[in-house]
Structure 1
């Protein structure tokens, strides 16, 4: 594992974008394991769930929206605070940028550090980063749940529990049984857990399952279009989280150093999950957070660009 390119700096190949209808007026914008966006077309306006990383990247979403409707994009929902999800928001000209209270607080606490960190990790996803006007600030902040009606269409914006971050938000269409899950669920893509609450994430997934979604847009990976696919996507995410955390926690209990735990956990998970998108990118961050949580560090430490590089060098170099 020596001399591995840092994070996704070696991933420069453009991905094929898919824009597909899940139900009347509900769409998934996906790109071979890159961050997804969701689109909800109401009677008079449009809602976008997650914005892409820059205004230039967001234009790809806007172009697809304009291929199906000319209604104004009045709402943007932030599933969480990570830069790769939110910094394209200015492109939409939305009246309302919606986030949970916990997501707002994370932007205050660590939004700038996350911005600087993620630009270094994902150069391809931050095309024309100079067009980002600054941090994205929500102007409609909710506690636990918010229900909106886009005309006759009911949209529930829910904070079901901590997992990928403490502010995770999903968007649920109860009539259509379509769920936009953010990074709480991945499909064929490795969960990033550097800012996670690993012991709580499975409980949050259980609450998500209780909604009984029949279609689901994960944070990364293809849209899941049957109840069976939804079940498989959630189960796969759960399996990765459980096996990764158990491996790390056992190493901590045995008094092993982080570097040894990382090597053992990587070797254990690679046969099952190594083909998933960004596996090698995520694993050092994932194991580092799991090590902290298993060691009693309840809240994730802030990732800075400097901490990123220091961690990577300590784990990936022989």
Structure 2
């Protein structure tokens, strides 16, 4: 058993190396994200906040015995998805929040928390239709998006930035675009610990909002090249380089499925519904094959029509209704006409 496998996957704060802790949130499905606390002499760096204020407050309270002596002075938002930044407002005003330049741009211009609150409102359900409304409730209904004041980063960087956190070197690296337009990792070389944000989903399917696939594969290669002993993914249990290789395998499989389906003339939506996920069929949130197939098709058809975020949620809801937990939960794809 690897050292990483010995870290229990239970809710709460886990010290995985001296002064390096991971906040884990089973089961890692929609919105249940991990975070990190890296402590040096008299100060700490926080890797990500959580999806709502209640979750973030609980995490910060659990960290209080550590941060009383090593207060959080700097933070990193690994990327712009709300489950990694919506709790920013709970950080002290003097905490300097860092992010990749493109991440800061996305946070400033993408849909704010109020949009998620509106999608979950009873008034929205009728307009969304039963399939999409039900899926959104199941995926996101447990979170409280009302009353969040979005706080954006204070400091941005393009590629790399090394910080001294109480005398401890922490390397911030932008390995995106892949999952989103900017994807930062935090590397703690003296501890052999890597925090990856959503470049890694362990136990659940990854999801691509930006791409391309080659960039994600390259990002995985760069993570492996660091030879970390412990890897804290954006979602799922602590892993090692084998977990990174598994994510690479998923993306290679999706790319091959897309090429085959595109060659047969299938649309990206039909390709997703027909996809034989093979060894990856058991991953959670398998409906993410819909946006992933769309992104793979964009590489094959540069002129492919843009699909807005709500349209992508609808595609996942439809996939789930036919193939996932909202339907038969079948692992065998439906028959299609070639």
Q: TM exceeds 0.5?
A: yes
| TM-score between the two structures when normalised by the length of structure 2 | 0.78
Structure 1: runs of 5+ lacking an equivalent: 1-14, 225-229
Distance 1:308 1:118 in 2: 17
Report the CA distance between 1:204 and its aligned residue: 1.4
Q: Match for residue 26 of structure 1?
A: 20
Structure 2 residue matching 1:133: 3-state secondary structure: coil
Q: Residue 248 of structure 1 aligns with which residue? A: 258
- Deviation, 1:166, is 2.5
Q: Which runs of 5+ in 2 are unaligned?
A: 1-8, 121-135, 323-338
- Report the equivalent of 2:241: 231
Q: Which residue of 2 aligns with 1:106?
A: 106
For 2:306 and 2:35, the matched residues in 1 are separated by 27
CA-atom RMSD, angstroms? 2.6
2:331 counterpart of 1:287:
no
Equivalences for 1:28-177 in 2 at 5 Å?
Answer: 28-32=22-26, 33=28, 34-70=32-68, 71-93=70-92, 95-112=95-112, 116=116, 121=136, 122-124=139-141, 126=143, 128-134=144-150, 136-177=151-192
Give the Å deviation of 1:302: 6.5
In 2, the alpha carbon distance for the partners of 1:83 and 1:77 equals: 13
SS at structure 1 position matched to 2:228: coil
Cα offset, 1:26, TM superposition: 0.4
State whether residues 82 and 114 of structure 1, in contact with CA within 8 Å, keep that contact through their aligned partners in structure 2.
no
- Pick closer, same or farther for the CA change 1:185–1:315 going to 2, 3 Å: closer
Distance 2:52 2:113 in 1: 16
Cross-structure match for 2:131:
none
Over residues 214-239 of structure 1, what are the superposed CA-to-partner deviations in whole Å (9 max), with x where a residue is unaligned?
A: 11101111112xxxxx1210011111
How do 1:238-317 residues align onto structure 2 when only pairs under 5 Å count? 238-265=248-275, 268-269=276-277, 271-280=278-287, 282-296=288-302, 301=306, 303-305=308-310, 307-312=311-316, 315=319
Give, in whole Å, the separation in 1 of the partners of 2:205 and 2:117: 19
The offset of 1:242, in angstroms, is 0.9
Post-superposition offset of 1:118: 11
Most deviating of 15-24 and 199-208: 15-24
Cα gap change, 1:68 to 1:220, in 2 (>3 Å): same
Going from structure 1 to structure 2, the CA distance change for 1:310 and 1:187 (only over 3 Å counts) comes to closer
- Give 1:117 deviation, angstroms: 9.2
Secondary structure of 2:169's match? strand
Structure 1 contact 87–132 (Cα < 8 Å) conserved: yes
Q: How far has the Cα of 1:22 moved from its partner? A: 1.1
Which of 1 and 2 has higher RCO (CA within 8 Å, sep 6+)?
1
Q: Give the conservation status (yes or no) of the 8 Å contact 1:195–1:301.
A: no
> Larger radius of gyration, structure 1 or 2?
2
